[in-house]
Chain A
């Protein structure tokens, strides 16, 4: 559905961030993109959704195709209308609007009133907490509720592809699990394709079907999530599980760090 083909992204003409990155999202599936801080995950999402322009970034090489159409270089508002919706890192709700108004903003690109109303009920169905707080200013919601609102707002646009940038950021483990459960549910029930960027590798690898691991602006490892979960390097560096299959213990004064088996 989405094919990112060998892209290079340069900021301000002088800073090279993505160095030939390729990935693709299968229709109706959750794809996850993992990597350390500064690997270029958010830049990848911004390149897809067209937000790079406002930060003086540019895709200098390669193409991004969405349902057979080239979308790099297009304006973000056009890309939204094609069906790609990005949920930005750090929630970014409209603080001075209440929950319902925020959701209406999400449906800005749509004109079918009945459908919008149906989807609003659907969002409240997924996130009952938002329903309780529907007339509260979103600036007064808790972090978790704001994240729910951000995802709900995305659903209101009925996107074909949902880009989620770190939905677990700053949330309690319980809430993270709940959010991920809902993300999975949305994917199953609405058949929305999802590209999930996450730091929480173990959860992301559980909900997704295919995963990419990025380092220094490149994909260094990809594969179906079951395989990635079994990969000893991923286990060591991303899941924090030692070779014995248990959580690494730091009690042993001397331990030899496994070296990564890929080039970065």
Chain B
């Protein structure tokens, strides 16, 4: 069957475990992956590096979606956690002389540990109160970035050595793209499967009704901490890749704005959805780029008020985000599901 099933026709456990159910989906996802891997050969360097930032954003967004979207613990520290990952990775590579392949997972683990520490308030706090507590993580970490000169280079920032395999150095746009996209794809796959597992269901149970979850035997505190640390692990990986991407890291990038940006990604994309994290990351990365191009073009047409148009960019960005939320309050992933449901019985919608 290549078309979507109009019902549940799974006949074996193997059928039941499939991530991609129909041949049509398998072929299109496969084609998409192939397209991702030949993309740099077809596109310009600018587009390739934009795609790299999208890949990093996808990983970070997946991370915050695990803690906020799936487990329901609002986290306002994703930006700072990315910083921890970036500085830790750079530290491991420069001082401990570890290769990137070991330094990146280690940086992820270090960030996970930090995330776990700042997840401790979740034992007692819920909702907005927890959000404020994680806000403290953001500020404490930012303070440390500036004052732990030995590790972070203080306010000057610090160099991030490029990863190497043998004699091959990842310093071009294309090689960085391939590195990022490969990690991003594995992150997507891992998250999808994590959420199908016993632990993933426990996360969702904690979000939907923590008392019911507890009564099933889910250790609430353990799973809240776990979600914080898994989320921070993703942030650590994303931070390391960010370091690779820029080659130079400073505390300036890992601010509250970045954290809120990630929160906005998953809200726009869809809370508690892997696909939503991807949609949100793409949306929030591309929209500013489009606006820069758009306002730049407008400014050339109307040179006299060009300056004014350019400075409107941030405002327009805000308005678009608000409009998006008004018309898609459940995120892009929800709309995607509705579109799929609509086509299932085409030409009848139900």
Contacts and interface: CB of A to CB of B under 8 A. Distances in A.
Contacts of A132: none
Interface string A5-18: 00000101111100
Residue of A13, A14, A16 ringed by the most chain B CB atoms within 10 A: A14
Interface of A: 10, 12-16
Contacts of B342: 13-14
B341 interface: yes
A7 to B, nearest CB: 15
Contacts of A12: 338, 341
Interface residues of B, number: 5
Nearest to A8: B350
B12 interface: no
Contacts of A16: 350
Contacts of B350: 10, 13-16
A16 to B, nearest CB: 4
Interface string B153-193: 00000000000000000000000000000000000000000
Residue of A10, A12, A13 ringed by the most chain B CB atoms within 10 A: A12
B28 interface: no
A10 B341 CA distance: 13
Contacts of B338: 12-14
A236 B216 CA distance: 37
Contacts of B341: 12, 14-15
B110 to A, nearest CB: 43
Closest 7 CB pairs of A and B: A14-B341, A16-B350, A14-B350, A14-B349, A12-B338, A14-B342, A13-B349
A256 to B, nearest CB: 31
Interface in B298-350: 338, 341-342, 349-350
Nearest to B330: A56
Contacts of B349: 10, 13-14
16 contacts: A10-B349, A10-B350, A12-B338, A12-B341, A13-B338, A13-B342, A13-B349, A13-B350, A14-B338, A14-B341, A14-B342, A14-B349, A14-B350, A15-B341, A15-B350, A16-B350
B345 to A, nearest CB: 9
A62 to B, nearest CB: 16
B336 to A, nearest CB: 12
A15 B337 CA distance: 12
Contacts of A10: 349-350
Contacts of A14: 338, 341-342, 349-350
A16 B345 CA distance: 13
Given A10-B350, A13-B350, A14-B341, 13 more contacts: A10-B349, A12-B338, A12-B341, A13-B338, A13-B342, A13-B349, A14-B338, A14-B342, A14-B349, A14-B350, A15-B341, A15-B350, A16-B350
A10 B349 CA distance: 10
B338 to A, nearest CB: 6
A224 B261 CA distance: 61
B337 to A, nearest CB: 9
Nearest to B341: A14
Contacts of A13: 338, 342, 349-350
A16 B341 CA distance: 12
B22 to A, nearest CB: 19
Interface in B210-247: none
B222 to A, nearest CB: 29
A261 to B, nearest CB: 28
A12 B344 CA distance: 14
A10 B342 CA distance: 12
Nearest to A14: B341
